Chain A
Amino acid sequence: MSAEREMRMSTGYFASARAMEGDRRGFVERLLDGRAKYLVGAACIALCTVMLLPLLASVLASLKSTAEAAAVPPTYFPHGLSLDSYHRLWNFQAGLLTYLGNSAGAALLTILFCLGLTIPAGYALGRFPVPGKEFFFLVLLLGLIIPYQALLTPLFFLFVQLKLHNSLVGLAIVHTAIQLPFSIYIMRNAFEAVPRELEEAAVIDGCNSWQVLVRVFLPAIVPAIITVSLFAFITSWNEFLAALVIMNKDTSFTLPLILAAARQQTSIGGTDWGMLQAGITISVIPCIAFYLLLQKYYVAGFLNGAVK
């Protein structure tokens, strides 16, 4: 009897192995197979067009001459390439470099604060038996459902008292707070995804908790670090409202603020569309560059950490 069962099991095994082979190709591969792939391709192109056209329009408009940029009705393509708009932006108010510096400074500080807080938090939540850690984690995630805009007024008064208004550190603290719940989520998952044996091998090899973190975990969670940094950068670089409330000296403005200002203040009275588009073009460049540069890690960070 047992032999018969064994035989049945073995044929069953082969049958299921064959079935698995058939199903192994994922949903995407099957979708991209045959005629459907043209449809999918067309949908992708349509989506990309919708997303990229405004960007393209901005870049083209930024290259028009001053008069052409203000023309009504607007032209689609510049009649002649001109860097006038960039020139005006360069000298706008305190100078473009000041604002770029402010934005970059706030973004860098946000990245530092984010990593400085979420790496230990992720390590603790992911690898240590902290009592009630699920509750802590939920409370941290709750931050996601409170709109930070609602807290800006009290925050402003608090920051004035702490002398953190008009300071990059102050702005970075707000941006960090905005970004924190998501970052902790990514970090915790990344820490949890590192095999236990790796940590145990390091412990046997003589590492203390700190050394395990530095020597084993940090190299293993590089994708998560990059994902968190990228998101912190983009959030801080693009954030407008908190910057508007906290930064009220024109030398402490960030790029989004100066773009808003450029819409209102021009020497000839109306909106300087050319300069505005130049500003948009410049502010978009780092986001795209970092994204393309780090895309590989960023996708891995999501797959390893968030989507388990």
Chain B
Amino acid sequence: MNIQPQMARHGRERDVHHVEMRGVNKRFGEFTAIHDLDLSVGKGEFCALLGPSGCGKSTILRMIAGLEAVNSGSVFISGVNVTRMHPAKRHIAMVFQSYALYPHLTVRQNIAFSLSVAGASREVQAKRADEIAGLLQLGHLMDRKPAQLSGGQRQRVAIGRALVREPEVFLFDEPLSNLDAMLRVQMRIELAKLHKTLGATMIYVTHDQVEAMTLADRIVVLDRGVVAQVGAPLELYAKPANKFVASFIGAPTMNFLAITPTAYAGRAVTLAFDSASASASPGLTVQARNVPDASSPPTEIGIRPEHIAITNPSDRRAQISGTVQLVERLGNLTIVYLSTAAGQIVAEGSGELDVKVDENVGLVIDTARTHLFGTDGAAL
């Protein structure tokens, strides 16, 4: 049988997907960490794996790197099946959360480590290390040991060590979570610039939605080893596929209120809040994404805090009223915690809102931007 042409054809077919996982399962003893995962990352794409701790995002990255064996399924990089390939041969580089710099080596030796293992001459090692150092502004630190560097500098060395290998795919495992808030923002910008300069494929694991939203072209949200949704950052924000994604993306978290639909008209759904008496709830009409199926009615409505405006209780536009319990003033925006007949609600307004604790206010819900969820949590 002639395998060669077939392989070539498959190679071309998968070139679109630079990194691809097919039906991947990973178990640790009895615990299934990753369940039947299909994932593809395009060439030059910045893809973020986002999820709470324990959702399996790091495991996925480690399986792509080859540090963790796959129980079943396959991993492809540039169309080549690398499922059983040694990590060093996968043309990947990884930046660890703890940086994992070799403590006994200088910055120069750390950056040139892979070249030294591969048997490159000292001149080549020094030359390449200096090139990388120039790119990352590490020139003045080359003879220091990692212990003599600050967190941000160590991070740059770790990236330098990845760069020197000229990998096809960069893997980042929560690279910024050991840095303080200010440095994190700065390094985030540097990473974005680096991605623009190199145009390389990057896969980035994080539990920080802000990092994922700002850096990624595409975000994969993971929930307990299963992909909850894949999409562009704003797509996840505007059209979460389920309650998990809706609650994970956006801060403060989306408000979820139990409802019962009372009438349907095309995509429009009129509903009543479960916890409010009929008199307190005048009935709210919102748009569902698809024409609702009466057999699986929506049971919850999700409203982002920034889509609730605070107004006078006498304002006719107000669909519901509430009592202010707590006000958080951040200068550029104000977060208001309210107690309403429909339940606890968090509202957010830009600038400084003129509200006081215990004040009675009216709430205007932007009905075009609400989300309806069924009993299984799927968006309707």
A205 touches B98 (CB 8 A): no
Residue among A1, A2, A3, A204 making CB contact with B94, cutoff 8 Å: A204
Residues of B within 8 A of A202 (CB): 102, 113, 117
What are the interface flags for A1-39 relative to B under an 8 Å C-beta threshold, 1 for contact and 0 otherwise?
111100100000000000000000000000000000000
A195 to B96, CA, bound (A): 11
Q: In this assembly, does B92 line the interface, its C-beta being within 8 Å of a C-beta of chain A?
A: yes
Does B328 interact with chain A (Cβ within 8 Å)? Answer: yes
Are B93 and A204 within 8 A (Cβ)? Answer: yes
A197 within 8 A of B: yes
Q: Which of A4, A201, A202: most chain B Cβ within 10 A?
A: A201
Complex: A202 Cα to B86 Cα, angstroms: 12
The chain B residue with its CB closest to the CB of A203 is B87
Q: How far is the CA of A195 from the CA of B93 in the complex (A)?
A: 18
- Which chain A positions have C-beta within 8 A of B87? 200, 203-204
Segment at the B interface, from A40-48, A53-61, A214-222, A276-284: A214-222
| Residue contact A195 to B88, C-beta cutoff 8 Å | no
- Are A203 and B102 in contact (CB-based, < 8 A)? no
Which single residue of chain A is at the shortest CB-CB distance from B327?
Answer: A3
Chain B residues near A204 (CB-CB < 8 A): 65-67, 87-88, 92-94
Which listed residue (B88, B97, B104) contacts A206, Cβ 8 A? B88
Cβ–Cβ contact A3 & B326, under 8 A:
yes
CB within 8 A of B165: which of A1, A205, A215, A216?
A205
Restricting to B144-203, which residues have a CB under 8 Å from any CB of A?
161, 165
Bound CA–CA A215/B98 (angstroms): 19
How many A residues have CB within 8 A of the partner chain? 21
Task: Name the distance in Å between A224's Cβ and chain B's nearest Cβ.
Answer: 14
Across the two chains, which residue of chain B brings its CB closest to A204? B87
Q: Which residue of B lies closest to A207 (CB)?
A: B117
Q: Is the CB of B88 within 8 A of A3?
A: no
**B325 in the interface, Cβ–Cβ < 8 Å?**
yes
- Interface flags for B76-115 (1: CB within 8 Å of A; 0: not) read 0000000000111000111011101011100000000110
User: Chain B at the A interface: mostly helix, strand, loop or mixed?
Assistant: mixed
B344 touches A205 (CB 8 A): no
Q: In the complex, what residues of B have CB within 8 A of residue A201's CB?
A: 94, 96, 100, 102, 161
* Closest B residue, CB atoms, query A194: B103
Q: Is A294 an interface residue (CB 8 A)?
A: no
CA distance A4 to B114 in the complex (A): 52
- How far apart are A209's CB and chain B's nearest CB, in angstroms? 11
Cβ of A211 < 8 Å from any Cβ of B? yes
User: Which residue on chain A has the smallest CB distance to residue B105?
Assistant: A219
* B118 interfacial by beta-carbon distance below 8 Å: yes
A198 at the interface (CB under 8 A from B): yes
Closest to B164 in A: A205
B337 at the interface (CB under 8 A from A): yes
Q: Is B117's CB under 8 angstroms from A211's CB?
A: yes
Complexed CA–CA distance, A47 and B87 (Å): 56
A215: chain B residues at CB < 8 Å are 102, 113, 117
Report how far A200 CA is from B58 CA in the complex, Å: 14
Interface string of B247-285 (1 = CB under 8 A from A): 000000000000000000000000000000000000000
Q: Is the CB of A197 within 8 A of B337?
A: no
Kindly provide the distance from the CB of B132 to the nearest chain A CB, expressed in whole angstroms.
14
11 intermolecular pairs with C-beta atoms under 8 Å apart: A200-B96, A201-B100, A203-B86, A204-B66, A204-B67, A204-B93, A205-B117, A205-B161, A206-B88, A216-B102, A220-B104
